């Protein structure tokens, strides 16, 4: 796991103060700046990798744009930073002092362009980190107050990027609880397009801090120059795309400054969260693959590990936890070939037993009326069945009805002068992570659970409330506006301590479903829960959107019951399994309510998933046919890095008689090798015509395969759903 803490270790430094262009490169991309001493730094180019000769020519001809426009002398066009100096002056005019390169605490190369205001002792460093072996460059800013008294930051974007106008389209994600990560694609028009989060704790439930910009018109998954940007922050953010009357759109991204002016003490340095930039000329698909590779290498816990196939208890029993029920679920998942059982909410509480969502958060002691032998006995039971055991917690929260709140009423986020504002269950409260005592509590919750349950394999870490009632008793009167920022610093500090103490345990990032996938928190987690909506059809859309920015290895995707608990739609178990298999496969169901036939099918699906798990979880994603395009079907595939193996998923999204669906052409294969096709999770009475046959990658990518619209099954088994999983193996 990589540290995301801003403090950088200066291991080796080379300093220059010339007019030479600063050329930051990755294998396929270049970011070119000019940093002339005494002048404002200029961003000249971001895109496909330049040769040194091109870089020199570009530097000679391009005028470029101020790389970090500051408010004060510039007032009418977009600015990235705004400061009120100790004397009340609101102007800022930074000029380059030097440029240096160093190696950070994780051994990664950083280039810093250092500036100082021409009148005031305020220093700003523009920092760039290229991640070796990927096409991702982090960009962030470090602002240091050298004045004798505090200054106030009212705008402090992580980065500014000018994007040449033309026919530029934005791709981003929007939604709500149980409807997360809907893909939205729109052209940039004059005005300001803002993507904003104000939740305080869950910053991806409604919108996401990751975007793509397609430079050549309507976004295409296979072609076109495309920029990707992912803000590595877990708190409130703001992404602005400003289109004024100039030749460029201005991209500004960073912490949402609303209600968060930051007082920078004398000598203090404020580091903004990094904005990860990537570029591909292979369209939105190319950008996704760049981000996924980066995530799998640098931004996830245990990227090398195969994720286990699990059964989670939530939709199966909700709060109705008891020993016999947990044993039965473990027996069932083990008998279907699963590898892990996770006991969700409802297992804890002393004075206040957790029988619904209105009590007990914070009281992380086993409810022995439900589990008389305790949780350690469940871990042992799981081991006796050959599977791992996981447990649910929500450590950043409490309820008004809890022993924790009775003991520490001052530990919650609230204005000192008002009654607490409650959330879920009418009683939930957010603990004040800015307070070090609360950070200690959160760390201790995890330490104690791991100590009390030797062999515990997995933790599901949930967070079901945003910040309301702005206030922190810990921060004191002069730092109330730091609440959102300090809350997140506190969370990261706690997570850092937890991961240092428990590097091996698997932890899932969950927040009312998919409320938290972002690249600030993910380095501490192995995976995330995509949504509380487990309906397979809606998941086709949500997983499609989520996959724009996050890799399949991290996307928890579960087979749930029929009818589905959120949409009440009934889909066959094959469709549910085929959709779940395109991410990290799991189950979210009461197995004892399944028919034997469904269990047999799931046993087969789990065995099949084990065959393709390395490709799904560690391979490259190619999106083939978007459900959002309304063609009646969706299709995606994964290809392993050597292009030896691939798996194609195909889902019908609507059914009409005499329907005409597009034939899907494949992608990412070696055109000159042949691949044998095998259908997995097959239900048809007869094999597909191409079963066991080999085709060249070229044929598959230029012509595709004709996938039947329906399944050939016995009459009484016919229904309106259809899906396919095809395994492709290169002929040796």
Is the CB of 337 or the CB of 425 nearer to ligand DGJ?
A: 425
Residues in the interface with ligand DGJ (CB under 6 A) total 12
Is the CB of 388 or the CB of 513 nearer to ligand DGJ?
A: 513
Alpha helices by DSSP H, 567-618:
573-580, 596-618
Cα 380 from chain centre: 33
Residues in contact with 311: Cβ distance below 8 Å, sequence separation at least 6, in sequence order: 329, 330, 332, 333, 338, 340, 341, 342, 586, 587, 588, 589, 591
Least Cβ distance, residue 360 to ligand DGJ (angstroms): 11
Report the residue from 221, 363, 367, 532 that binds ligand DGJ according to the rule CB under 6 A: 532
Least Cβ distance, residue 132 to ligand DGJ (angstroms): 36
What are the two backbone dihedrals, phi and then psi, of residue 59, each rounded to the nearest 5 degrees? -65, -30
* Residue number with the smallest Cβ distance to ligand DGJ: 345
Least Cβ distance, residue 645 to ligand DGJ (angstroms): 32
725 Rama class: left (phi>0) / alpha (psi -120 to 50) / beta: beta
Quick check: bond before 563 cis, omega within 30? yes
Is the CB of 513 or the CB of 547 nearer to ligand DGJ?
A: 513
Neighbours of 640 (CB within 10 A): 18
Least Cβ distance, residue 506 to ligand DGJ (angstroms): 16
Report the residue from 210, 344, 620, 640 that binds ligand DGJ according to the rule CB under 6 A: 344
Cα distance between residue 361 and residue 395, in whole Å: 8
Is the CB of 393 or the CB of 637 nearer to ligand DGJ?
A: 393
Is the CB of 114 or the CB of 308 nearer to ligand DGJ?
A: 308
524 forms bridges with which residues in the sheet?
A: none
Neighbours of 430 (CB within 10 A): 26
Residues 582-611 binding ligand DGJ (CB under 6 A) are none
Alpha helices by DSSP H, 475-619:
483-501, 536-546, 573-580, 596-618
State the burial class of residue 698 (Cβ atoms within 10 Å of its Cβ: 0-12, 13-18, 19+). Answer: middle
State the burial class of residue 82 (Cβ atoms within 10 Å of its Cβ: 0-12, 13-18, 19+). Answer: buried
Least Cβ distance, residue 347 to ligand DGJ (angstroms): 11
Report the residue from 131, 233, 314, 519 that binds ligand DGJ according to the rule CB under 6 A: 314
Tokens standing for residue 613: 């798990």
What is residue 549's three-state secondary structure? Answer: coil
Is the CB of 205 or the CB of 260 nearer to ligand DGJ?
A: 205
Least Cβ distance, residue 430 to ligand DGJ (angstroms): 15
Residues 166-195 binding ligand DGJ (CB under 6 A) are none
Q: How many Cα atoms are found within 13 Å in the side-chain-facing hemisphere of 122? A: 28
Taking contact as CB under 6 A, which single stretch among the options 264-272, 445-453, 505-513, 592-600 is the one that binds ligand DGJ? Answer: 505-513
Report the residue from 512, 546, 566, 723 that binds ligand DGJ according to the rule CB under 6 A: 512
Q: Kindly state whether residue 285 participates in binding ligand DGJ, applying the rule CB under 6 A.
A: no
Radius of gyration (Cα) for the chain, nearest Å?
A: 26
Distances (CA, A) of 497 to 235, 440, 691: 19, 9, 51
Cα distance between residue 376 and residue 380, in whole Å: 6
Least Cβ distance, residue 312 to ligand DGJ (angstroms): 7
Report the residue from 233, 279, 364, 392 that binds ligand DGJ according to the rule CB under 6 A: 392
Is the CB of 293 or the CB of 516 nearer to ligand DGJ?
A: 516
Taking contact as CB under 6 A, which single stretch among the options 130-138, 410-418, 506-514, 553-561 is the one that binds ligand DGJ? Answer: 506-514
298 Rama class: left (phi>0) / alpha (psi -120 to 50) / beta: alpha
Q: Kindly state whether residue 364 participates in binding ligand DGJ, applying the rule CB under 6 A.
A: no
Report the residue from 141, 236, 464, 571 that binds ligand DGJ according to the rule CB under 6 A: 464
Least Cβ distance, residue 577 to ligand DGJ (angstroms): 19
Distances (CA, A) of 413 to 196, 323, 433, 563, 642: 22, 35, 8, 39, 51
Is the CB of 538 or the CB of 681 nearer to ligand DGJ?
A: 538
Q: Kindly state whether residue 645 participates in binding ligand DGJ, applying the rule CB under 6 A.
A: no
Give yes or no for a contact between 669 and 684, defined as CB atoms under 8 angstroms apart: no
Q: Kindly state whether residue 262 participates in binding ligand DGJ, applying the rule CB under 6 A.
A: no
Is the CB of 296 or the CB of 565 nearer to ligand DGJ?
A: 565
Report the residue from 270, 529, 541, 575 that binds ligand DGJ according to the rule CB under 6 A: 529
Is the CB of 205 or the CB of 278 nearer to ligand DGJ?
A: 205
Cα distance between residue 613 and residue 617, in whole Å: 6
Taking contact as CB under 6 A, which single stretch among the options 41-49, 508-516, 558-566, 569-577 is the one that binds ligand DGJ? Answer: 508-516
Give yes or no for a contact between 163 and 65, defined as CB atoms under 8 angstroms apart: no
Footprint of ligand DGJ on this chain (CB under 6 A)? 314, 344-345, 357, 392, 462, 464, 510, 512-513, 529, 532
């Amino acid at each position: 796991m990589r540290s995301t803490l801003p403090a950088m270790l200066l291991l080796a430094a080379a300093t220059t103060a010339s007019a030479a262009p600063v050329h930051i490169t990755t294998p396929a991309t270049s970011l070119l700046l000019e940093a002339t001493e005494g002048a404002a730094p200029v961003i000249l180019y971001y895109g496909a990798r330049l040769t040194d000769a091109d870089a020199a020519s570009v530097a000679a001809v391009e005028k470029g744009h101020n790389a970090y426009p500051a408010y004060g002398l510039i007032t009418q066009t977009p600015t990235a930073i705004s400061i009120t100096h100790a004397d009340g002056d609101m102007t800022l005019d930074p000029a380059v002092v030097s440029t240096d390169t160093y190696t950070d605490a994780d051994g990664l190369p950083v280039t810093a362009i250092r500036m100082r205001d021409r009148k005031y002792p305020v220093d700003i460093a523009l920092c760039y980190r290229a991640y070796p072996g990927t096409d991702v460059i982090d960009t962030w800013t470090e602002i240091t107050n050298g004045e004798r008294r505090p200054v106030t930051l009212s705008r402090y974007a992580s980065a500014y990027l000018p994007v040449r106008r033309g026919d530029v389209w934005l791709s981003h994600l929007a939604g709500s609880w149980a409807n997360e990560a809907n893909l939205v694609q729109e052209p940039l028009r004059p005005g300001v397009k803002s993507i904003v989060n104000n939740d305080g704790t869950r910053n991806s439930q409604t919108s996401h801090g990751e975007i793509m910009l397609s430079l050549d018109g309507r976004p295409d998954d296979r072609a076109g120059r495309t920029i990707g940007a992912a803000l590595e922050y877990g708190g409130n953010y703001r992404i602005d795309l400003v289109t004024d009357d100039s030749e460029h759109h201005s991209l500004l991204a960073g912490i949402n400054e609303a209600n968060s002016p930051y007082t920078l003490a004398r000598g203090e340095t404020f580091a903004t969260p990094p904005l990860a930039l990537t570029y591909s000329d292979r369209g939105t698909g190319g950008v996704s693959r760049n981000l996924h590779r980066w995530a799998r290498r640098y931004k996830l816990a245990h990227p090398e590990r195969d994720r286990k196939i699990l059964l989670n208890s939530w939709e199966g029993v909700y709060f109705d936890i008891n020993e016999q029920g947990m044993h039965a679920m473990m027996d069932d998942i083990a008998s279907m070939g699963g590898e892990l059982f996770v006991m969700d909410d409802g297992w804890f509480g002393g004075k206040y037993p957790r029988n619904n969502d209105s009590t007990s958060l914070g009281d992380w002691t086993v409810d022995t009326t439900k589990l008389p032998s305790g949780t350690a006995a469940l871990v042992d039971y799981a081991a006796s069945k050959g599977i791992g055991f996981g447990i649910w917690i929500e450590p950043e929260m409490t309820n008004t009805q809890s022993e924790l709140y009775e003991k520490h009423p001052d530990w919650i986020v609230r204005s000192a002068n008002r009654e607490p504002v409650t959330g879920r269950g009418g009683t939930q409260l957010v603990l004040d992570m800015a307070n070090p005592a609360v950070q200690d509590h959160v760390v201790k919750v995890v330490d104690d659970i791991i100590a009390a349950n030797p062999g515990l394999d997995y933790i599901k870490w949930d967070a079901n409330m945003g910040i309301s009632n702005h206030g922190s008793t810990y921060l004191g009167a002069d730092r109330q506006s730091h609440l959102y920022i300090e809350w997140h610093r506190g969370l990261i500090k706690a997570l850092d301590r937890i991961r240092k103490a428990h590097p091996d345990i698997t932890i899932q990032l969950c927040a009312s479903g998919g409320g938290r996938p972002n690249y600030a928190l993910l380095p501490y987690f192995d995976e995330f829960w995509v949504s509380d909506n487990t309906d397979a059809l809606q998941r086709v859309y949500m997983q499609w959107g989520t996959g724009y920015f996050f890799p399949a290895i991290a996307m928890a995707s579960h087979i749930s019951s029929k009818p589905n608990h959120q949409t009440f739609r009934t889909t066959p178990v094959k469709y549910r399994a085929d959709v779940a298999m395109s991410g990290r496969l799991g189950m979210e169901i009461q197995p004892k309510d399944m028919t034997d036939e469904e269990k047999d099918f799931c046993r087969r699906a789990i065995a099949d998933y084990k065959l393709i798990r390395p490709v799904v979880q560690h391979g490259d994603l190619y999106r083939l046919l978007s459900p959002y395009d309304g063609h009646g079907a969706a299709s995606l595939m994964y290809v392993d890095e050597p292009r030896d193996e691939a798996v194609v998923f195909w889902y019908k999204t609507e059914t009409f008689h005499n329907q005409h669906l597009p034939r899907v052409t494949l992608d990412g294969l070696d055109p000159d090798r042949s691949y044998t096709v095998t259908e997995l999770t097959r239900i048809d009475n007869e094999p597909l015509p191409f079963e066991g046959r080999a085709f060249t990658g070229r044929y598959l990518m230029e012509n595709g395969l004709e996938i039947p619209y329906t399944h050939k099954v016995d009459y009484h088994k016919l229904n309106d759903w259809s899906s396919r999983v095809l395994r492709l193996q290169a002929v040796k």
